[in-house]
């Protein structure tokens, strides 16, 4: 699979596109507005330049990666792709519509259509297409150029050889560590991580501890690279809220119920690091 498409170039789409370009692949990225496309391209350029500054990437390799990437608002640009990874906003209706459109546009009958959804049922995206056996979940972690893991999710409709090809691509072509998960809310990692992130918000909301003490506690007590409140800001509070709503809606498990404060932060436009302000306000 040499020709890769990425749908959405927010935090995750831009990171996934960067990973694919650094693996020497031909990458096209589609988002819905010129503004989103420009900021996605800027994010990739900044990340590649930081890698050059840190001596992790040769300047020629950065230039080659940038040359192998095309950014566009035109969905038809994905027509000749061997693999498309959907990384649009965590919204089931947007994703179902995109899968129906991708099914219509992508001409290669063997192409894999993958979703980077954090929590939503892969089978529903599969059913929006006429080729449900070709649809899988490929769940990358934030920041995608740094985190080694990709969860490979097969739905009850996925053909086993498609899961194998998707896993081989993530492992051998992209150099990621892969694990296989069932099509259940949050798969493996978010089924464990999301209750922790939401519990931290509840702890802060209840007045039991300050933001800083919650984060300092988990960094210094449990050797986490960052605390849960900073991590909520890194993920994006709108994304955390959408994940919580989806997982709670599916399971009714109170551990996944979105705290009211999380909704209020999203209402206020405090979406986390990507918006310049979330629980913390020191991002600008
Ligand atoms: C919700 C979803 O569905 C699932 C998820 O993704 S949950 C979120 C999972 N992610 C996490 O848990 C992140 C936890 N935090 C971390 O791993 C680290 O704090 C961090 C990588 C974000 C930052 O690390 P830290 O050491 O504080 O910062 P820094 O020294 O600037 O960066 C470390 C390396 O990461 C790179 N990096 C940091 N942010 C980056 C980004 N956004 N893009 C590309 N590279 C980045 C740096 O260039 C540096 O690379 P190097 O070691 O090769 O020189
Ligand atoms: N943020 C994380 O930590 C993280 C980690 C793993 C997976 N994910 C998942 O990845 C996906 C994207 O998350 P993100 O953090 O990049 O969100 P984001 O808000 O940073 O970016 C979403 C992008 O999707 C674009 N978009 C919306 N509708 C679109 C459409 N129809 N076509 C093309 N682009 C469209 C938006 O314009 C935006 O640029 C979500 O499914 C999310 O759950 C997020």
**Can you give the CATH number for the domain in which 12 is found?**
3.40.50.720
Q: Does the predicted model carry a pTM greater than 0.95? A: yes
Let me know whether 85 and 47 are in one domain.
yes
Q: Are residues 163 and 195 in the same domain?
A: no
Alpha carbon distance 181, 244 (integer Å): 19
Tell me: do 133 and 46 sit in the same domain. Answer: yes
Examine the residue annotation and report whether 118 is marked as an active-site residue of this protein.
yes
Q: Model confidence over 140-172: pLDDT tens digits? A: 999 999 999 999 999 999 999 999 999 999 999
Residues 19 and 119 in one domain: yes
Does the beta carbon of 142 sit less than 6 angstroms from any atom of ligand 1? Answer: yes
- pLDDT at position 219: 98
What integer pLDDT is reported at residue 172 of this predicted model?
98
Using the predicted structure, report yes or no on whether residue 72 has a pLDDT greater than 80.
yes
Residue-wise pLDDT for 229-277, tens only, equals 999 999 999 999 999 999 999 999 999 999 999 999 999 999 999 999 9
* Residue numbers of the domain that contains 244: 189-275
Q: Are residues 39 and 143 in the same domain?
A: yes
- What ipTM was assigned to the predicted interfaces of this complex? 0.96
**CA dist., res. 73 & res. 30, Å (int):** 5
CATH of the domain at 248: 1.10.1040.10
Q: What mean pLDDT is reported for the chain?
A: 97
38 within a domain of the structure (yes/no): yes
CA 87–ligand 2 middle distance (angstroms) = 5
Q: Catalytic residue at 34?
A: no
Question: What does the alpha-carbon distance between residue 126 and residue 114 come to, in Å, rounded to a whole number?
Answer: 9
């Amino acid at each position: 699979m040499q020709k890769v498409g990425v749908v959405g170039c927010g935090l995750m789409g831009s990171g996934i596109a960067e990973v694919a370009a650094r693996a020497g692949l031909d990458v096209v990225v589609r988002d819905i507005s010129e503004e989103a496309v420009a900021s996605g391209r800027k994010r990739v350029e900044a990340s590649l330049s930081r890698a050059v500054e840190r001596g992790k990437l040769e300047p020629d390799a950065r230039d080659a990666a940038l040359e192998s990437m095309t950014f566009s608002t035109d969905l038809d640009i994905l027509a000749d792709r061997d693999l498309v990874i959907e990384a649009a906003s965590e919204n089931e209706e947007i994703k179902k519509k995109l899968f129906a459109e991708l099914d219509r546009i992508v001409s290669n009958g063997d192409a894999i259509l993958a979703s980077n959804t954090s929590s939503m049922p892969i089978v529903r995206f599969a059913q929006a297409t006429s080729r449900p056996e070709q649809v899988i979940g490929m769940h990358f972690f934030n920041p995608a150029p740094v985190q080694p893991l990709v969860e490979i999710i097969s739905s009850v409709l996925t053909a086993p050889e498609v899961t194998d090809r998707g896993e081989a691509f993530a492992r051998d072509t992209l150099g990621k560590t892969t694990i296989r998960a069932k099509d259940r809310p949050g798969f493996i990692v978010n089924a464990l991580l999301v209750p922790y992130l939401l519990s931290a918000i509840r702890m802060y909301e209840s007045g039991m501890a300050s933001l800083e003490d919650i984060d300092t506690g988990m960094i210094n007590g449990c050797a986490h690279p960052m605390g849960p409140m900073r991590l909520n800001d890194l993920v994006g509070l709108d994304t955390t809220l959408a994940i919580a709503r989806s997982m709670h809606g599916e399971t009714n498990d109170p551990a996944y119920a979105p705290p009211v404060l999380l909704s209020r932060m999203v209402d206020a436009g405090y979406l986390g690091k990507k918006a310049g302000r979330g629980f913390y306000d020191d991002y600008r």
